[in-house]
């Protein structure tokens, strides 16, 4: 799917709040500003690498034992490749590499790999539909991800006969924002659209809005997948959109269309 380019100045004067982690938040904000928006950043998820442990080193050193390596995010892929470079001057041959989405695959490709990724979608469900992940006869799979996360990939591949090892490389946390920062971002700025690209981010936004008295009912919420859209609906929020992809330009173009509609 080709990435769409938003029309220049198509969002002139529109107020957009971006709740992604850094540095992705500032990069996306710059893209919105190029389209004329007043874009501000309020990260509601933070990430930090986990300390390297003997277990981590063992998994990396035994990389040649794996038939498949799956990275669930660009951040996970970046951390993994940095560690792998320490132990493998040349990566083992014969591994099938996977990225959950275009951005993750791009990180792997940047290290000379040829990763597989879903042709439609960027979710765990889309990845699990790939033909090469349907049946296993005890092959080993390394799943590179955060400390906590959905267990869908692990459980599904295990049920399909794979021997799956999880390699957690980072943890997520909710950044602290003081009351003044929250008031400026929500009550004073009054965003017309908020970018919430994970279920955890959405939950944090809902909690902060309730605590500050900010009403999200008329705010356009940009979510990554139908699973998170349903989460928003269950919270009583119905103005929701899912972009064509999580590429920055596609997010900007989708918001422009929704706000003009």
pLDDT (tens digit per residue) in 23-32: 999 999 999 9
What's the mean pLDDT in 64-89?
94
What's the mean pLDDT in 120-126?
84
User: Does residue 210 or residue 144 have the better pLDDT?
Assistant: 144
Structural contact between residues 195 and 38, judged by C-beta atoms closer than 8 angstroms: no
63: cis peptide before it, omega within 30°?
no
**pLDDT for the residue numbered 148:** 81
* CA distance to 40, 106, 139, per residue, from 27 (Å): 11, 16, 39
**pLDDT for the residue numbered 119:** 82
In the DSSP assignment, the letter for residue 132 is G
Q: Give me the chain's average pLDDT, please.
A: 91
pLDDT digit string, tens, across residues 168-189: 999 999 999 999 999 999 889 9
Give the residue carrying structure tokens 């269950």: 234
pLDDT of 95 over the 60 cut = yes
Complete domains list, the chain, with CATH: 15-45+176-260 (3.40.50.10090), 49-172 (3.40.50.10090)
Instruction: Give me the percent of the chain exceeding a pLDDT of 70.
Output: 96
* CA–CA dist 241, 225 (Å, integer): 9
**pLDDT for the residue numbered 223:** 95
* CA distance to 174, 188, 201, per residue, from 210 (Å): 16, 15, 14
């Amino acid at each position: 799917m080709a990435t769409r380019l938003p029309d220049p100045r198509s969002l002139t004067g529109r107020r957009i709040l971006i709740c992604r982690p850094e540095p992705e938040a500032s990069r996306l904000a710059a893209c919105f500003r190029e389209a004329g928006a007043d874009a501000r950043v309020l990260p509601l998820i933070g990430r930090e690498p986990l300390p390297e442990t003997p277990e981590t080193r063992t998994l990396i050193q035994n990389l040649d034992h794996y038939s498949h390596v799956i990275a669930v995010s660009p951040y996970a892929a970046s951390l993994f490749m940095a560690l792998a470079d320490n132990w493998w001057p040349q990566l083992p041959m014969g591994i099938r590499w996977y990225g959950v989405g275009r951005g993750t695959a791009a990180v792997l490709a940047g290290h000379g790999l040829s990763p597989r990724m879903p042709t439609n979608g960027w979710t765990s469900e889309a990845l699990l539909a790939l033909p090469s992940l349907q049946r296993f006869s005890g092959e080993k799979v390394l799943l590179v991800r955060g400390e906590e996360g959905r267990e869908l990939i692990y459980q599904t591949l295990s049920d399909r006969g794979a021997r799956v090892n999880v390699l957690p490389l980072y943890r997520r946390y909710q950044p602290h924002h003081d009351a003044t920062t929250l008031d400026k971002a929500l009550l004073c700025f009054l965003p017309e659209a908020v970018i919430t690209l994970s279920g955890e981010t959405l939950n944090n936004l809902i909690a902060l809005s309730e605590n500050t008295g900010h009403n999200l009912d008329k705010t356009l919420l940009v979510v990554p997948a139908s699973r998170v859209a349903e989460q928003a609906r269950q919270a009583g929020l119905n103005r929701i959109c899912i972009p064509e992809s999580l590429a920055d330009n596609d997010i900007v173009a989708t918001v422009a269309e929704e706000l003009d509609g």
